[in-house]
Amino acid sequence: MDWNLVRSFLAVAENGTLAAAAEALGASQPTVGRHIDALEGATGLTLFARGRHGMVLSEAGLSLVEEAKAMQAEADRFELKAAGRAQSVHGPVRITASEVVSTYILPPIIAAFGRTEPDIQIELVSSNSVENLLSRDADIAVRMFRPVQNDIIARKTGELGMGIYAHRSYLADHGEPVDVETFLQHRLIGMDRSTLILDGMSDLGIKADRNLFSVRTDDQVAYLELLKAGAGIGFAAHILVAANPDIKQVLPHVQIPALPIWLASHQELRTSQKIRRTMDYLHQTISILPLTGRAGRE
């Protein structure tokens, strides 16, 4: 059985139309349509009911979906194994990291790495979602938690120290909090739908809901820029505000747990030279960054 036919079958089953399947596969719609016709001809089965609103799996097609997914998983595993055996030190390495790490921490590291390994191409995916290393959405993930997926190798490379900060212009207008009680009376910058900050405050014994925050955003980069603009008091990693003399740490005695930084990759890729070199360089450079020190300006 030609794997390409099964691959197209699974794409149509998951996406519902030939057009959407073609886009997902990076192929043309006529090609995907020919693959479906060829597979139906080879099996003697009608796999889809064609309608005005798309392609609907028939009973026969539905019975084959799990087998097609199993073939996809084996194909992914084959690709991982082949990539892991590659000894070349050129070509693409795909890295995924959060928006903040991708924007403020990784760019100078990637620039320096390019001077060291000019033949390795870096694809940087700025995303707060958990990319699936098993299906090669990324080769390396930089995460603030330890991945728990099977077949994933992870290396802790540092901790991101956190603090409570505000722009001096905000403090000039509203005063500086002296304790948690006065802190809660200020204009606070929080998150909208994410409960990340609320969960952290709860761990510190502060019970609150999203209405506590006068300004809310789930965009991490926008969050930091709001803090820099003086929109209120917020939480930030020390390293992200250390170079800004107008940002001051408040309530330094409040100990906010540091965020661990983990590098993760699929274990099948540990013998790939280009991925190993990239992983080692990220570990070496991130581990020597001043991640835990406070901005601490008076």
E strand residue ranges, the chain:
48-51, 54-57, 91-97, 120-126, 140-143, 152-160, 162-167, 189-190, 215-216, 234-237, 247-250, 259-266
For the chain, give me the number of helices (H) and strands (E)? Answer: 12, 12
Q: What is the mean pLDDT of residues 65-81?
A: 84
Architecture, CATH, for domain 3-84:
Orthogonal Bundle (1.10)
Mean pLDDT score of the chain: 88
Which residue ranges make up each domain of the chain? Answer: 3-84, 91-160+259-287, 162-250
- Give the Cα separation of 19 and 134 in Å (integer): 26
**pLDDT tens profile 257-291:** 899 999 998 876 667 888 889 999 999 999 888 88
To 10 degrees, the CA torsion angle through 154, 159, 165, 168?
-110
Residue pair 186/251 in contact (Cβ under 8 Å)? The answer is no
**pLDDT tens profile 210-236:** 999 999 999 999 999 999 999 999 999
Residue 9 burial by Cβ neighbours in a 10 Å radius (0-12, 13-18, 19+)? buried
Is pTM beyond 0.75 here? no
HSE-CB of 133 using CA atoms within 13 angstroms: 25
In which residue are the tokens 């596969």 written? 25
- Give the Cα separation of 187 and 206 in Å (integer): 16
Beta-carbon count within 10 A of 268 CB: 22
Architecture, CATH, for domain 91-160+259-287:
3-Layer(aba) Sandwich (3.40)
DSSP at 184: T
Is it true that 91-160+259-287 and 162-250 share their CATH fold?
yes
Looking at domain 162-250, its CATH class is: alpha beta
To 10 degrees, the CA torsion angle through 242, 288, 221, 187?
-40
**pLDDT tens profile 137-181:** 788 999 988 877 777 888 999 899 999 999 999 999 999 999 999
**pLDDT tens profile 90-115:** 889 999 999 999 999 999 999 999 99
Q: What residues contact 141, with CB distance under 8 A and at least 6 apart?
A: 95, 96, 97, 130, 131, 133, 147, 262, 263, 264, 265
Q: 80 to each of 134, 188, 211, 272, how far by Cα in Å? A: 8, 46, 46, 10
Q: What percent of the chain has pLDDT over 90?
A: 62
